[in-house]
Amino acid sequence: MPSNAYRLKDALIAVIQEDSSHLRELPAGSMFYCSSTKPDSHGMVKGMCKGHMVLIFASDLEERAEPLVKVI
């Protein structure tokens, strides 16, 4: 998982971490910015999406999102 930023190709379910954790669908086209480089023990990656700290399964990210390439 070399990229730090992804665009979701399909909607997917994420765990939103606020005062309490809850599930929310993230729509296709959303941007996800990883804050961890490796999945945790549950296979989830932490990052930001739409201003919320979220957890997404690494397998969902690999299958249903496209990495964004930084152009310099």
Write down the residue that tokens 């996800």 correspond to: 32
Per-residue pLDDT, 72: 55
| Domain ranges across the chain | 5-67
Residue 41 CA, chain-centre distance (Å), reads: 16
pTM of the model: 0.83
- The token pair at 51 is 């201003």
Instruction: Write the DSSP assignment of 26-57 as a string of letters.
Output: EPTT-EEEES-SS--TTSEEEEEETTEEEEEE
Tens of pLDDT, residue by residue over 2-57, are 568 999 999 999 999 888 889 999 999 999 999 887 899 999 999 999 899 999 99
Per-residue pLDDT, 69: 74
Alpha-carbon distance of 43 to 56, in angstroms, equals: 8
